[in-house]
Structures are given as structure tokens and as C-alpha cells.
Amino acid sequence: MTAMSVLDAVILGVVQGVTEFLPVSSTGHLILAQQLLGIRVDSLLLVTCLHAGTLVAVVWALWPELCWVVRHPTSRATRMLVLAMVPTGLIGIGLEDAFERVFNTGVTLGLEFVLTGIILWWMDAADHPQTKSEPGAMDALWIGTFQAFAIMPALSRSGLTMAGALWRGLNRDAAGRFSFLISVPAILGATLVQALDWWDEPAAVQLVPWGPVMIATAAAAVSGYAAVKGTLWLLRTARMRWFALYVWVVAALVLADQWVWHRWFPPLSW
């Protein structure tokens, strides 16, 4: 493993920013990128800063909608956003230790990519009527539950929440926008939790390559902004099956390494 260079920082930032909002799993791709580049850096700090970058991206991209929500705290739209966070928070806190063990080993990464592909394929194949322009209470709870399970490394948060929204009958534009709006408190909460965990280890501050980490954060913010805008356009005009095929190819490579090559990922055991 090598220390993170400026080029590594840019690559990791772009990987995080683009894949956070495309339905292909940012954490799974970040793990892949670090393994393939052989980067050694405080992973908790890096993930915290990259999440901060993507938080800037989504706030930047959805600034008018977020301003409206802040100015109308008792509106129906705001209540639905808050309601969606209830299952996200409860499941995330309740299963945090189990999720962290899976995340640290990376043993299920390939299987999670397979599941993400199945969900994305279903998004195109589903014949549910998609006519709602905004979610109701049960819709919000359903989508928030999907978001909670996206804490698994290679389960795409945007993919799961958009699939949940389409399942509940939201049209594609509404599904995309609600998915990104509920990502703001989710990313903010995860960033704060990670920052507090990292802050408990003050000795690590001296070892942080702050320059590359800040470059990675900036790259995540800029690429994340482009990804939000691009994903909203793709959701309306393109088919999600292309993303499904992509993550299945990634899954095949990860599983091949786990079963045959044994170079980057722990063996898959049953």
C-alpha cells in the first residue's frame, strides 16, 4: 500500500462524487478504487471528507428546492422528508455494528453489486403505474427504509431509493428529486457521526495528508454536482438497464478475485 498522491486524491474524489448520485454505489466503488490504487490513508477520515464533498454537491445542485423546504418547515413536502428519515435512522443505528463488520471485511461486495444490478434492472422492467408527483406518508416510509439498507457498501443509495419511489408510483422526475433531497440529511448525519468517531483519535491528526484529502473533497463536490444533474436527466430519458449491466460486470470481477485470483478481496465463504 502507498500513500495518497494528488492524482490519487483526484481519482478518489471523482469516483466518490460521480458514483454517489449515479445508481452504482459510491462506497463500493471507493473500496474498489482504494484497493486497486493501493492507497494507504485513514479510511474513516477520507470517507468523512468525501461525504462532506458530496453534501456540498447535492446542496449546490438542489439549492432552490432546499431553500423552499427551509422556508416552509411545516409544509407537506418537508414532513415527508422528515418522515423518510425515521426508518433510515432507526435501522441505521440499530444495525450499525453489523453493517460496520460487513463493510470492514468487504467480503459481500460482489454479491451486493449483483443485488444492485437486479434492482436497477427491475426499475426499467416494473409495470407499476408511475403517476404521483410527490410522495405520501407510506411512500416516504418505504423509500426511507430502502435508504437505510443502502448503508451496505455496494448497495446503491440512489438506486435503492429511486427504485422504492418508482415502486410506490412516483414518476421518474419526482423519484429522482426525492431521492436526492433525502440524501442531504442522510449524508449530513453520516458525516457528523464519522467526524465524531474520528475526532476521538486526536493523535491521528498529525498523520493526515491534508493536502490530498482536501483535493479529494473538492473533486467529490464538483463531480458530484455534475452527477446530480446528469442522473436526473438520465432518469427521465435513459434506461437504467445500462447501469445494471455495468454493476454486474464489476460484480463478476470482484467475485472472480474472491474465488480465483485472491489478490484484492477476501475469499467468499458460505
Query: Binning pLDDT at 50, 70 and 90, where does residue 154 land?
Result: confident
Does some domain include residue 267?
Answer: no
Where does residue 71 fall: left (phi above 0), alpha (psi -120 to 50 degrees), or beta otherwise? Answer: alpha
Distance in angstroms (rounded) separating the CA atoms of residues 213 and 65: 30
Does some domain include residue 256?
Answer: yes
What confidence score (pLDDT) does residue 30 get? 84
Q: Are the beta carbons of 87 and 141 closer than 8 angstroms?
A: yes
Which residues are CB-contacts of 205 (< 8 A; sequence separation ≥ 6)?
none
159 versus 152: the higher-pLDDT residue is 159
Counting the structural domains of the chain, the total is 1
Query: Binning pLDDT at 50, 70 and 90, where does residue 186 land?
Result: confident
Does some domain include residue 70?
Answer: yes
Does some domain include residue 269?
Answer: no
What confidence score (pLDDT) does residue 1 get? 46
What digits encode the pLDDT tens for the residues 22-31? 888 888 888 8
Q: Please state the pTM of the whole predicted model.
A: 0.85
Closest to 17 in 3D by CA, of 34, 32, 29: 29
Share of the chain above pLDDT 70, in %: 87
Does some domain include residue 33?
Answer: yes
Which three cell numbers, joined as nine digits, stand for 166?
418508482
What digits encode the pLDDT tens for the residues 204-227? 555 667 788 899 999 999 999 999
Q: Are the beta carbons of 162 and 179 closer than 8 angstroms?
A: yes
Distance in angstroms (rounded) separating the CA atoms of residues 44 and 48: 6
What's the mean pLDDT when you consider all of the chain?
A: 85
Closest to 57 in 3D by CA, of 236, 187, 153: 187
Domain residues for 221?
A: 6-261
Does some domain include residue 165?
Answer: yes
What digits encode the pLDDT tens for the residues 247-259? 999 999 999 998 8
What digits encode the pLDDT tens for the residues 25-67? 888 888 888 878 877 665 667 777 888 899 999 999 999 999 9
Closest to 149 in 3D by CA, of 94, 82, 202, 222: 94
Closest to 120 in 3D by CA, of 243, 250, 251: 243
Does some domain include residue 179?
Answer: yes
